[in-house]
Chain A
Amino acid sequence: MPVSRRSFLAGVAGAGALATLAACANGGAGGAPQTGGRLRAAFVAGGAQETLDPHRLPQFMDQARAKACFDTLGRWEQDMSCTPRLAESWEPDATGTRWRIRLRQASFHDGRPVRATDVLYTYRRIADPATTASAAALFTGIDFAASRAVNDRELEIVLGAPNHLFPVALGSYGSEIVPEGTTSFAAPVGSGPFRFVSFTPGGPALYRRNDAYWDGAPALDELEFLPVADESARVGALLSGQIEYAHDIRATSAQQLASDSRAQVLTAPGAAFQFLYVKHDRPPFDDPRLRQALVLGLDREALARVALLGRGQPGNDMFGKGLRYYPDAVPQRTRDVDRAKALVAESGVTTVELSTGVTDPSWPAATQLIVAQLAEIGLTAQVRNVPPETYFADVRKNATMHFSRTGTLPVQNWIATTQLSSALTNSFSKYVDPEIDRLHAQALADPDEGARAAAIGSALTRIHDNIASPIWGISDWIVGVHGDVKGLQGFRPNTFDWANFAKASLG
């Protein structure tokens, strides 16, 4: 794989974090990983309604557990390209509608081999609307009547329309392969690095090493997932040695952990995109002058410095910085108070509503800053607080301007699920642009990678120019781990390596 300028830059951006890591991971280098022991990982969890269904993953913890027990055919890399994993290879026909996938030799925890029919069963289940699967949108394009198992380890998937980016679906979270016929996940059987041992909904989940794992048995004997909702409780548990992995840590705690020899801080730079959506289909932001004023009125440097506490970077109103197909050439939007003020005056609007919440720890701070920044361009923002549990459904319906965030996703998937006119009900901005539909379809249909990159780049540029998804910042993703833990790094959430403990060890 050639090293592009982009991934090289991403490497540089990550160097700061790696330096911190090296400073506190004393004696981390060299030596074979120690085997054995139990690693306890704490996440925010969903409560009593949790299941171990790997196709319904509302929380990060659900993804992490699915990853331990199951395998996906592909893996999402840090730039969201997809490479083969449980699949040995995949290749399309010339039209990009017929995909031939060859599987590795692997077996489920009960000894049965992983076969092509298991894969077909899995994808059919995900595409079934009744499953309400997290990755449903990626698999609905499959023509299941025409798709078939060629033999036990080879299958042919037929798509309703050409899609040269189809393999990206194979690495998605929520596309984990389950044995054919599985309907209950009370005691899940997968082909992943860890076998299921026990689980209490809303409580701990325990897994044991799968010695027969096709990619080599994990170093850990056991892996336990613990729900700890409160962030300071996760940090406390980590420092007192009650857990070895604390997911999703605040910037302030990261600074505290960095100065403590008992812990290491793992940082994935540029991992969560922070939006300030406005609705295009209703006043006041149906006025393009007001949208323009908004993005010119934001002081993104101040937002990154204060709301993200320096653990992040300013956004440029396009999703996907650092990821494949992102158009780096589009210049960064900067603040222009005078022009913004003039545009606000022209529009005649003086008061806007701003919906916010506590879903992301940076939002309360960002809210205060943005209210102050808007005041400087002549807009009074009335803040509406929305409770976290129904935040996204609420703001999608009711808000005219609101915060939102998205973890790392393949850029084309993000476009498909939020920007296409077919995804209007799911859209936060209600922005419709036939040209984006066309560019997206073109990107999928074109077998040439360069043309594809150009098409997706143009779509993002249009999104930027038309202010369809203002992004004020991109935050780092921070995880705290015990000082002895090895084999983990700062990875972007949703990627294959993130929250993956197959290569982790306790020393």
Chain B
Amino acid sequence: MTTLGPLTELAVAPAMPRRARLRGRTTRRVLRVLGWVLLAVPLLVAVVGPVLAPSTAPGGVPLQQPGPGHLLGTDVLGRDLLGLVLVGGTTVVSLTLASLVLAYAVAVPIGLLVAARGRILEGLTIGLLDVLLALPSLLVLMVLAATGRNGIGWLVLAVALVQVPYVVRLVRGAAAAPSCLATLEAMTMGGEPWWRVRIVETGRRVLPPVLVDATTRVSGVVGLLSAANFLGVGLDPAVVDWAVVVDQNMTALFLRPSAVLLPAGLLVALCAGTNLLVDDLLERRA
């Protein structure tokens, strides 16, 4: 069993006229390039930026216009905007990755196991996760903040924890989808051991929706990180991070728009780029 199921352009292509298909290919190419560009810019900035960045020490004249000393001007704290943009990607990229990896590393095995093994385990696990899900995440964040646990580790843990119940449910749902079940039943009848069918093969089959889910979650996680800052429960304000910079400069949106729009644009590019590329990748794999 090597094919990944019928998620192919070919399978539906006959429904489309040739011209539309051609146009589709062009758009696809354009969007693929766009996706690469959108993703590459923030990633490149996040990786290389810190090496090139000028100092981001606060204390200069706030909200300066771009000039020789500060190529992009300064933000509300009198920090060099170029420096902020170059430095601020590392945290957000690594935080997002860490939270997602943690969430999926925990949730996917649970989801598969739950879908595979009896109803009691399933009921119990889902019930327990629903409790977790029903605990207001806001309260969790506020308690963490109020007790001084707003370090990076806690934030990653909290953000990952919030994702787990949803991912488990998604994996379970995808594993139980009809297109999946039919082939698996055939395999089971063919005498394959349950774990091979239920974990390995099902795992491969739920991969596309999980991947899609993960990429949409990139923006969700980034959004959660920036919302946490908006609510005053996020990262330490001294951490230079795009989301934090956006939050700190929001009040000066109309005075120095670039201090908000540049880091916010990079965040949006990061999320949008990931999503576009994964869409493309899924189609190509098919």
Contact = CB atoms under 8 A, between A and B. Distances in A.
- Asked whether the complex places CB atoms of A and B closer than 8 A, the reply is yes
Given A306-B77, A309-B76, A385-B145, A372 B254 contact: no
A380 B77 CA distance: 20
Contacts of A253: 251
A384 B254 contact: no
Contacts of A384: 148
B59 interface: yes
A253 B57 CA distance: 24
Interface size range on A against B: 20 to 34
Given A232-B250, A252-B252, A256-B254, A309 B146 contact: no
A302 B59 contact: yes
Contacts of B148: 384-385
A372 B56 CA distance: 11
Q: Which of A252, A256, A310 has the most CB of B within 10 A?
A: A252
A230 to B, nearest CB: 10
B58 A369 contact: yes
B232 interface: yes
B61 interface: yes
A348 B254 CA distance: 47
A129 interface: no
A180 interface: no
Contacts of A255: 255
A231 interface: yes
B78 A305 contact: yes
Contacts of B59: 299, 302, 306, 369, 372
Interface stretch (A76-84, A133-141, A360-368): A360-368
A47 interface: no
A306 B255 contact: no
Contacts of B236: 383, 385
B69 to A, nearest CB: 16
A365 B79 CA distance: 11
Interface in B68-92: 76-78
A14 to B, nearest CB: 23
Contact of B58 (A309, A368, A385): A368
B248 interface: yes
B237 interface: yes
Contact of B255 (A252, A302, A385): A252
B145 A306 contact: no
Contact of A306 (B58, B150, B237, B250): B58
Given A299-B59, A306-B59, A371 B77 contact: no
Contacts of A371: 238
B209 interface: no
B5 interface: no
A368 B77 contact: yes
Given A252-B76, A383-B238, A306 B60 contact: yes
Contacts of A231: 251
B145 A387 contact: yes
Contacts of B250: 232
Nearest to A364: B237
Contacts of A302: 59
A358 interface: yes
Given A306-B78, A384-B148, A385-B148, A368 B237 contact: yes
Contact of A365 (B60, B77, B142, B232): B77
A358 B61 CA distance: 22
B227 to A, nearest CB: 14
A290 B240 CA distance: 30
A55 interface: no
B24 interface: no
Interface in B141-178: 142, 145-146, 148, 150
Contact of B62 (A306, A361, A364): A306
A250 interface: yes
B196 to A, nearest CB: 50
B21 to A, nearest CB: 48
Contacts of B254: 256
Interface string A383-416: 1110110000000000000000000000000000
Contacts of B252: 252
Given A250-B251, A306-B58, A306-B62, A365 B145 contact: no
Interface in B222-263: 232, 236-238, 248, 250-252, 254-255
A385 B238 CA distance: 11
Nearest to B148: A384
A365 B58 contact: yes
A369 to B, nearest CB: 5
A257 to B, nearest CB: 10
A447 to B, nearest CB: 49
B150 A385 contact: yes
Contacts of A383: 236, 238
Interface in B36-79: 57-63, 76-78
A365 B62 CA distance: 11
A306 B251 CA distance: 14
Contacts of B237: 364, 367-368
Nearest to A365: B77
Interface string A13-51: 000000000000000000000000000000000000000
A364 B248 contact: yes
Nearest to B237: A364
Contacts of B62: 305-306, 309-310
Contacts of A369: 58-59, 77
A306 B261 CA distance: 21
Nearest to B61: A305
A482 B251 CA distance: 19
Nearest to B150: A385
A170 to B, nearest CB: 39
Contacts of B78: 305-306
Contact of A252 (B57, B145, B251): B251
B146 A387 contact: yes
B238 A367 contact: yes
A231 B232 CA distance: 14
A22 B250 CA distance: 28
A361 B251 CA distance: 10
Interface in B245-286: 248, 250-252, 254-255
Given A365-B76, A387-B145, 16 more contacts: A232-B251, A252-B255, A253-B251, A299-B59, A305-B78, A306-B59, A306-B77, A309-B63, A358-B232, A367-B238, A368-B58, A369-B58, A371-B238, A372-B59, A383-B236, A385-B145
13 contacts: A252-B252, A253-B251, A302-B59, A306-B58, A306-B59, A306-B60, A306-B62, A309-B63, A364-B237, A367-B237, A371-B238, A385-B148, A385-B236
Interface of B: 57-63, 76-78, 142, 145-146, 148, 150, 232, 236-238, 248, 250-252, 254-255
The 3 residue pairs across chains A and B that have the minimum distance between CB atoms: A252-B252, A364-B237, A306-B78
Interface of A: 231-232, 250, 252-253, 255-256, 299, 302, 305-306, 309-310, 358, 361, 364-365, 367-369, 371-372, 383-385, 387-388
